[in-house]
Amino acid sequence: MTINPYNKDIIAVETEFHGKTLKLEVNRVGFRTTSSVLVSYGDTVVLGTAMVGSRPVVLDYFPLSIDYEEKFYAAGKISGSRFIKREGRPSDEAILIGRLIDRPIRPLFPKGYRQEVQVVASVLSADPDFRPDAIAMIAASSALSLTGTPFDGPVAGLRIGRVGGEFKAFLSPAEREASDLDLVVAGIESGITMVEAGAEEVSEEVIADALAWAFDAYQPAIE
Class of residue 136 by CB neighbours under 10 A (exposed 0-12, middle 13-18, buried 19+): buried
Q: What pLDDT sits at residue 75?
A: 58
The torsion defined by the Cα of 20, 22, 28 and 34, in degrees rounded to 10, comes to: 150
Q: Tell me the percentage of the chain whose pLDDT exceeds 70.
A: 89
pLDDT attached to residue 140: 97
H-type helices in 5-110, by residue range? 92-105
In this structure, what DSSP letter does residue 188 have? E
- Res 2 pLDDT > 60: no
Read off the pLDDT of residues 125-155 as tens digits, 9 standing for 90 and up. Answer: 988 889 999 999 999 999 999 999 999 989 9
**Other CB atoms within 10 Å distance of the CB of residue 124:** 18
Containing 120, the helix (H) or strand (E) segment is strand 115-125
**Is 85's pLDDT higher than 70?**
no
- Which residues, in sequence order, are bridge partners of residue 16? 21
Average the pLDDT over each of 38-42, 77-81, 207-211 and give the range with the smallest value: 77-81
Cα gap 151→110, rounded to integer Å: 8
Q: Answer yes or no: is pLDDT of 42 > 70.
A: yes
Helices (H), 148-188: 173-178
User: Whole-angstrom Cα distance, residue 64 to residue 24?
Assistant: 23
DSSP class of 33: S
Give SS3 for 109: coil
Model confidence pLDDT, tens digit, residues 88-120: 677 888 999 999 999 999 999 999 999 999 999
Q: How many domains does the chain have?
A: 1
- Which of these ranges, 27-36, 74-83, 186-195, 211-220, has the smallest mean pLDDT? 74-83
Residue 118 contacts residue 65 (beta carbons within 8 Å): yes
Query: Tell me, what CATH number does 202's domain have?
Result: 3.30.230.70
Q: Is the pLDDT of residue 70 over 90?
A: no
pLDDT of 6 higher than 80 = no
**Partner residues linked to 181 by β-bridges:** 199
* Segments forming the whole domain that contains residue 154: 2-222
pLDDT 10s digits, 46-66: 999 999 998 888 888 999 999
